Amino acid sequence: MNKKELILKLQDIEWEDFEVKEAKTEVPKNSWETVSAFANTAGGWLIFGIEKTGRDYEVIGVQNSEKIEQDFLTTLRGDKFNKKITVKAKKYVFDGKHVLGFYIPSLDGKDKPLYFNSVKNTFIRTGSGDQRATQEEIDALYRNSSFDKKDEELTEFTLKDLDQKTIQGYRTYMENVDSGHRYNKLSVAELMEKLHVIRQGKVTVGGLLVFGNEDTIGSINGDFRIDYLEIAGTSYSDAPTKYQYRLSDEKNLFDFYFGIYDRLQKKIDIPFKQDDKWSMGTNDQPQVRAIREALVNLLMHSDYFSNAKPRIRVFSDRIEFFNPGSLPKDIKYIVQEEFSMPRNPTVARIFRHIKLSENIGSGFDKMFKGWTSYYKNKPKVSGDFDYYKIVFYLEPKTAGSGDPNRGGDKVGEKVGEKVGERLSTNQKKIIEAIKKDASISAGQLAEIVGISQRKIEDNISKLKVKRKIKRMGPDKGGYWEVVD
């Protein structure tokens, strides 16, 4: 029988991950690898009494099924594994042949990793097989098990080792967003203690990540960075260069936030016309709040001590936020319950006090609702035990220009037109404007052409590929040249 036929026969497993073992006379030794792998990832069924040859499955049955079941369950309750686990057992009989099924649940993050005999016997599930976890993967499981502890650890540094310019910038921002905040009257030392940046006279890991400098942060994390890339295409393969822009390294999370947010604002559509709903200004529109929440979400929930690095990639059709480190629960439960357990509670506390973040549950809800108030598709969340990713798609609900209040691209003249096609009306307008003012900015072009700045930048990328214009000199202080 094939896989689908086996699943129909063993109705309980449905389409969940499963592994079959012959187990004719005893519990196979490699069963323990599968138990560890399922428990450390998404769970699954371990089936005894099935032989697999290539893609074919055959029911061969187990002898003395009661003894094999008892041996298996007794081992799981014994000392072989570092933690005792409870599994669901099922029995099947097909043409007089006995088959045993055991559902191995995925353990809570705080209980991982599960291993037998030695931590080196930690396994994870990749594809449809059991793989011995690498040391980095084991370390990630341990960090997840102490989900809200790492950024509260104390370092050797004190208040004098923090970046004073960043502290002053934070205080100024707090005064601007909430002039009546009681923390505005505190001394620097008192403020740092209230924010949990300082405890027992020492700087916490989270406090250092936000307010430290290259040297102090580098002493606890030699490769501290957040990658921000802008790619002029829907993938690396259709982009003229690997990336159009890459953010230079900043000294701490506070500076990374403002450096990245400044770029992200230019990549989403922000209609020029105001109404009562957006009376606080264009930066408070729902889609802007959504992308801001996604950025702070990345800062609060990234595992900064993973070999993988937090990464934001802006393609022509989407924005991707990649977070090393898993979510504490499935996303649907986080949103339903407004569940709040940030990986970095100190970092979260610092950003919440200047009103740049929500609790994790309400934060995701704000992202989804805010984005779909303007854009067509809901953000997509995916991930595994050591990462998660959020993708925001840049297709507006209305056809044509993203700005419903101004004239935009006509039908057939979309930004994504292929290289070699004729110039669109908007691209012709851009060239004419550049001829009149070689130093014109993207913002000024957006006003003249009547489309968003993001679409201006996308059109400019296409014009550069078509060799219609080229940039002379640096981004700041340079100028455009029209190629005849």
Largest CA distance in the chain: 89
> Three-state DSSP class for 482?
strand
Question: 268 and 173: one domain?
Answer: yes
Secondary structure element (H or E) that encloses residue 472, with its range? strand 469-472
The last residue of a domain, from among 348, 369, 393: 393
Task: Answer whether 459's CB lies under 8 Å from 415's CB.
Answer: yes
Q: Is residue 225 part of a domain?
A: yes
Residue 470 sits in which domain range? Answer: 402-484
Question: 373 and 428: one domain?
Answer: no
Task: Answer whether 106's CB lies under 8 Å from 42's CB.
Answer: yes
Question: 414 and 351: one domain?
Answer: no
Task: Kindly give the interhelix angle for 345-352 and 286-301, rounded to the nearest 10 degrees.
Answer: 150
Q: In total, how many domains does the chain have?
A: 3
Q: Is residue 481 part of a domain?
A: yes
Task: Answer whether 198's CB lies under 8 Å from 207's CB.
Answer: yes
Question: 52 and 100: one domain?
Answer: yes
Model confidence at 468, pLDDT cuts 50, 70, 90, reads confident
**333 or 400: which leads in pLDDT:** 333
CATH at 55: 3.30.950.30
Rounded alpha-carbon distances, angstroms, from residue 335 to 24, 148, 327: 46, 19, 12
Beta bridge partners of 467: none
Give residue for tokens 């039908």.
Answer: 411
Task: Write the pLDDT tens digit of every residue in 278-323.
Answer: 334 456 788 998 999 999 999 998 999 888 899 999 999 999 999 9
**116 or 276: which leads in pLDDT:** 116
pLDDT score at 79 = 93
Taking the C-alpha atoms of residue 465 and residue 472, their distance in angstroms, rounded to an integer, is 15
Question: 84 and 222: one domain?
Answer: no
Task: Answer whether 25's CB lies under 8 Å from 63's CB.
Answer: yes
Question: 214 and 167: one domain?
Answer: yes
Q: Is residue 153 part of a domain?
A: no
Question: 22 and 111: one domain?
Answer: yes
Taking the C-alpha atoms of residue 97 and residue 49, their distance in angstroms, rounded to an integer, is 8
Quickly list DSSP for 123-156: EEEETTEEEEPPHHHHHHHHHHHTTTTGGGSB-S
The last residue of a domain, from among 393, 417, 439: 393
pLDDT above 90 as % of the chain = 44
Taking the C-alpha atoms of residue 336 and residue 253, their distance in angstroms, rounded to an integer, is 29
Rounded alpha-carbon distances, angstroms, from residue 273 to 63, 285, 405, 441, 483: 76, 11, 7, 21, 35
pLDDT score at 12 = 59
pLDDT above 70 (res 13) = no
pLDDT above 70 (res 327) = yes
The tokens describing 213, both together, are: 């400098």
The last residue of a domain, from among 393, 422, 437: 393
Task: Write the pLDDT tens digit of every residue in 53-85.
Answer: 888 889 999 999 999 999 999 999 999 999 999
**477 or 264: which leads in pLDDT:** 264
pLDDT above 80 (res 421) = no
Model confidence at 237, pLDDT cuts 50, 70, 90, reads confident
CATH at 268: 3.30.565.60
DSSP structure class, residue 248: P
Q: Is residue 381 part of a domain?
A: yes
Task: Answer whether 203's CB lies under 8 Å from 162's CB.
Answer: yes
Instruction: Give mean pLDDT, residues 226-234.
Output: 93
Taking the C-alpha atoms of residue 114 and residue 357, their distance in angstroms, rounded to an integer, is 34
Q: Is residue 408 part of a domain?
A: yes
Taking the C-alpha atoms of residue 423 and residue 446, their distance in angstroms, rounded to an integer, is 17
CATH at 409: 1.10.10.10
Q: Is residue 149 part of a domain?
A: no
Q: Is residue 172 part of a domain?
A: yes
Question: 30 and 78: one domain?
Answer: yes
∠ CA(297), CA(231), CA(323), 5° rounding? 25
Secondary structure element (H or E) that encloses residue 94, with its range? strand 88-94
Question: 265 and 289: one domain?
Answer: yes
Task: Kindly give the interhelix angle for 425-436 and 442-449, rounded to the nearest 10 degrees.
Answer: 120
Question: 387 and 358: one domain?
Answer: yes
Question: 165 and 111: one domain?
Answer: no
Number of H helices and number of E strands within the chain? 16, 18
pLDDT score at 3 = 61
Taking the C-alpha atoms of residue 204 and residue 196, their distance in angstroms, rounded to an integer, is 7
Q: Is residue 151 part of a domain?
A: no
pLDDT above 80 (res 35) = yes
∠ CA(39), CA(44), CA(15), 5° rounding? 155
- The 3-state DSSP composition of the chain as helix, strand, coil percent (nearest 5) reads 40, 20, 40
Taking the C-alpha atoms of residue 82 and residue 116, their distance in angstroms, rounded to an integer, is 6
Q: How far apart are the first and last CA of the chain?
A: 67
Instruction: Give mean pLDDT, residues 368-385.
Output: 88
**How far does Cα 227 stand from its chain's mean position?**
12
Question: 131 and 34: one domain?
Answer: yes
pLDDT score at 455 = 82
